[in-house]
Structures are given as C-alpha cells and as structure tokens.
C-alpha cells in the first residue's frame, strides 16, 4: 500500500505518519503542497500514483470562519472536491477527516453515522460540503468524523489545542473560565490514528465516526486535565453566552459509531484513558535527553 499524506504539519498527521512507515511515499505540509492549488496537487498525485491519499489539511478556525466563510469553503469544500476528482481519476482511495460540528446539538444521545447533519456555524457547513463532494465524486473513500481533537504536536491551525491551552493558562496563573453547557467526546489524535490505520488496512470505506468513548463538558475536561497532572487549579464553569464567540457551537456533539466493523476493527478508548495516555506521551516528549543540559 502506497500512501501520500496531506496537511503533514498538523497534530493528526504527526501521529498518522509513523504508522505508515515505508508505505508513506511523501508527507506534504501546507508550504510544500497547498491543497487549494489544484494543478500542483494534480501534478504531484499523478506523478506518485499512490493507492491511498490521506487528507488532514483543513481550515479549522471555527470563529474566524464566521467572518470569512469563503476562506473556510475554499479549503474545506472546494479544494476537497478537486482532490476527490483527482483521486477518482488516479484510482486512489481518499481518506478525509470531518467534524462533530456538522450536527446542531439538539440530540442528547451520541450521534451516529445515519443521523442527519445540520450545521449551525460556517465551519461545520464547509466541512459538510466537503463530505458531500467526496460522496458524490469518489468511488473509494473513507470519511472520518471525530471530536475535540488534541495531540502532542499541538494544532498549527489553532495555535495550540485545548489541553495545551489549559496547561499554559494554569502555569501562567490565569483565571480558567470554561464552558459547562457543551458536551463532547474529547479525542486524542493518537487514538484516531491507530483506528484509521486499522480501517484502511481492512478496506473499510464510507462514513465513520471515530471518537473516544464517554462524554464530558469542556469544563469537566479541563478539570480532568488538571487532576491528571496533579495541579490544584480552580475551573470556573461558565455558559456559552458568556464567551460571546462569533460562532455558535452545538450544545451536544458526542459521536459514536453504529457500524459493527468500526467497533470491531477500531475500538476507541474512553476519553479519560486517552487523556492519561496523551499526558504520559507529552511528559516523555518533554523529558530532556540523557546527557543533555
């Protein structure tokens, strides 16, 4: 299996790349290959002729998307539609990542793949448009929806991730104010990467939900981060209206899969277990190398 990875500068790609080993023909970050440059993408993929194209590139600034929806649409929908057409032409499987924000949050039980999407912000709408472009165009594809991603590499598009933001604020002695009326299943990129690799190997296609098991609010997630690190840190739970964010967020966006093959091949850990594993890997990464000052 030959693989090309797009969006290699991001936190999800950081955990995906090592899993493909020698199968990885090339990993391109934004500077090396802009997915909005159709001709460059076409020329590159037609030259390499991979069997699988994994796209992790995305416009992920949820609040900014409200003021510049065309920019989000360009990356998350138009470029994805072009990529889907190229993958169909070269007969490559397209693996693409989407979001829990395609839902409106009106449910109070986890969303499954057959639930009808209804985004309530521009970011979610752009990601849904990308999904539908792939479904219309590709013969062989895997769309992976996930939720509340965090990884040891951080998130280049957001300037960090929730875990890193909470730790930074606590270390700086800042007040921690976190919404307590939005529930999700926070998910580590390491867990998603392992699951995606298993699904690709098994030839699973279509739409899947991959998110850690269980659910919590963002405030509860923050409290768990501090508890795992042994930090005595007060978390002030607030309502979404206090943040006055440009983009609306779904009040409930927990994801789970109804597909038996996904549950069998890519069982996801509980969100607390994933957080513990992540913080352990983070500590290992930050530990000075022996012999170095």
pLDDT at 284: 86
pLDDT at 293: 38
Contacts of 162 (CB under 8 A, 6+ apart): 148, 150, 186, 218, 221, 222
pLDDT at 159: 60
Task: State how far the Cα of 152 lies from the Cα of 274, in Å rounded to an integer.
Answer: 12
pLDDT at 155: 61
Domain boundaries, the chain: 3-286
Residue 232, SS3?
coil
Q: Is the pLDDT of residue 289 over 60?
A: no
18-32, 174-188, 277-291: the lowest-pLDDT one: 277-291
Domain 3-286, architecture per CATH: 3-Layer(aba) Sandwich (3.40)
The pLDDT mean for the chain works out to: 95
Nearest Cα to Cα of residue 28 among 40, 189, 19: 40
Residue 177, SS3?
strand
For residue range 189-221, list pLDDT tens digits in order: 999 999 999 999 999 999 999 999 999 999 999
For residue range 78-93, list pLDDT tens digits in order: 999 999 999 999 999 9
| Cα radius of gyration (the chain) | 19
DSSP string, 34-56: -TT-HHHHHHHHHHH--SEEEE-
State percent of the chain over pLDDT 70: 96
Compute the 3-state secondary structure of the chain and give helix, strand, coil in percent, each to the nearest 5. 45, 15, 40
- Are residues 180 and 236 in contact, defined by beta-carbon separation less than 8 angstroms? no
Contacts of 246 (CB under 8 A, 6+ apart): 63, 64, 66, 67
Task: State how far the Cα of 288 lies from the Cα of 53, in Å rounded to an integer.
Answer: 35
Would you name the residues annotated as active-site residues?
123
Q: Is the pLDDT of residue 286 over 80?
A: no
Q: How confident is the model at residue 153 (pLDDT cuts 50, 70, 90)?
A: confident
42-56, 82-96, 152-166: the lowest-pLDDT one: 152-166
77-81, 153-157, 229-233: the lowest-pLDDT one: 153-157
């Amino acid at each position: 299996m030959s693989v090309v990875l797009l969006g290699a500068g991001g936190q999800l790609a950081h955990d995906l790349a090592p899993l493909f080993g020698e199968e990885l023909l090339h990993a391109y970050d934004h500077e090396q290959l802009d997915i909005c440059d159709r001709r460059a993408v076409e020329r590159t993929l037609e030259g390499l002729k991979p069997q699988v194209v994994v796209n992790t590139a995305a416009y992920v600034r949820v609040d900014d998307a409200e003021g510049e929806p065309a920019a989000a649409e360009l990356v998350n929908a138009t470029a994805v539609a072009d990529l889907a057409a190229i993958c169909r032409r070269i007969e490559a499987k397209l693996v693409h990542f989407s979001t829990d924000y395609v839902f409106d949050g009106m449910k109070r039980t986890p969303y499954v793949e057959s639930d009808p999407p209804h985004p309530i912000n521009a970011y979610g709408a752009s990601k849904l448009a990308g999904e539908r472009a792939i479904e219309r165009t590709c013969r062989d594809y895997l769309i992976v929806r996930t939720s509340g991603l965090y990884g040891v590499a951080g998130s280049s598009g957001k300037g960090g991730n929730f875990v890193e933001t909470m730790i930074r604020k606590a270390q700086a002695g800042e007040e921690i104010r976190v919404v307590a009326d939005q529930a999700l299943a926070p998910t580590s990129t390491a867990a998603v990467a392992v699951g995606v690799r298993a699904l690709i190997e098994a030839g699973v296609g279509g739409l899947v939900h991959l998110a850690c098991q269980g659910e919590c609010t963002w405030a509860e997630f923050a409290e768990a981060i501090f508890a795992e690190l042994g930090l005595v840190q007060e978390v002030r739970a607030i309502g979404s209206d206090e943040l006055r964010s440009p983009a609306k967020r779904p009040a409930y966006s927990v994801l789970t899969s109804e597909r038996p093959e996904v549950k069998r091949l890519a069982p996801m850990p509980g969100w607390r277990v994933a957080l513990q594993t992540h913080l352990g890997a983070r500590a290992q990464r930050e530990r000075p190398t022996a012999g170095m000052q």
